[in-house]
């Protein structure tokens, strides 16, 4: 049980149950994976859990991933959660739009399980290092 406490929580959002199962299987050994089948369900989960990262499909009914990221980034309690888009969209303009809205990465489906795991691992390391860099820069500039 103590191992479980040390695992980061990741919310995986996709309207396709097979994609949820694959993603959860790939990540479950290293992370606590909470799945949601819609952006609306993700927001209900966020009322109780602030994850280390969100993996978000773009093409979903009702609210797409782009709109979900806009909502996440507009709220103080969720604006700093790193988001990786998982999508079948392949146009460069789709990736550009996702990154512009605040995603930290963009992974095309279908993906190789090892690739997903490595991108999540890298995204979390990069995100965790950011506050240290900001703090260092702040103190370096302040002491000048």
Identify which has the larger pLDDT, 114 or 13.
13
| pLDDT of res. 130 | 56
| pLDDT of res. 1 | 46
Supply the range of the domain harboring residue 61: 2-142
Is the pLDDT at 143 greater than 70? The verdict is no
CB environment 35-73: b (16+ within 10 A), e (fewer) = bbbbbeebbebbeeeebbbbbbbbebeeeebbebbeebe
* CATH code of the domain containing 131: 3.40.50.2300
Number of Cβ atoms within 10 Å of the Cβ of 95: 18
Looking at the 3D structure of the chain, how many domains does it have? Answer: 1
Mean pLDDT over all residues of the chain?
A: 86
Q: Tell me the C-alpha distance between 103 and 140, whole Å.
A: 28
pLDDT digits (tens, 9 = 90+) for 22-81: 999 999 999 999 999 999 999 999 999 999 999 999 999 899 999 999 999 999 999 999
Two structure tokens written together for 51: 């994850």
**Which pTM value belongs to this model?**
0.84
**Number of residues written out for the chain:** 144
Q: What is the mean pLDDT of residues 1-25?
A: 87
pLDDT digits (tens, 9 = 90+) for 81-130: 999 999 888 888 988 999 999 899 999 988 888 999 999 999 898 877 65
Q: What is the mean pLDDT of residues 6-30?
A: 94
């Amino acid at each position: 049980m103590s191992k479980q406490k040390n695992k980061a929580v990741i919310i995986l959002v996709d309207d396709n149950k097979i994609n949820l199962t694959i993603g959860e299987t790939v990540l479950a050994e290293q992370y606590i994976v909470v799945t949601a089948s819609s952006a609306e369900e993700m927001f209900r989960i966020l009322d109780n859990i602030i994850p280390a990262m969100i993996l978000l499909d773009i093409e979903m009914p009702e609210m797409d991933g782009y709109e979900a990221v806009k909502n996440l980034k507009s709220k103080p309690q969720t604006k700093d959660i790193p988001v990786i888009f998982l999508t079948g969209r392949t146009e460069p303009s789709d990736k550009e739009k996702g990154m512009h809205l605040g995603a930290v990465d963009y992974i095309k489906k279908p993906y190789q399980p090892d690739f997903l795991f490595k991108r999540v691992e890298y995204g979390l390391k990069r995100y965790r290092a950011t506050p240290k860099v900001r703090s260092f820069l702040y103190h370096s500039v302040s002491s000048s």
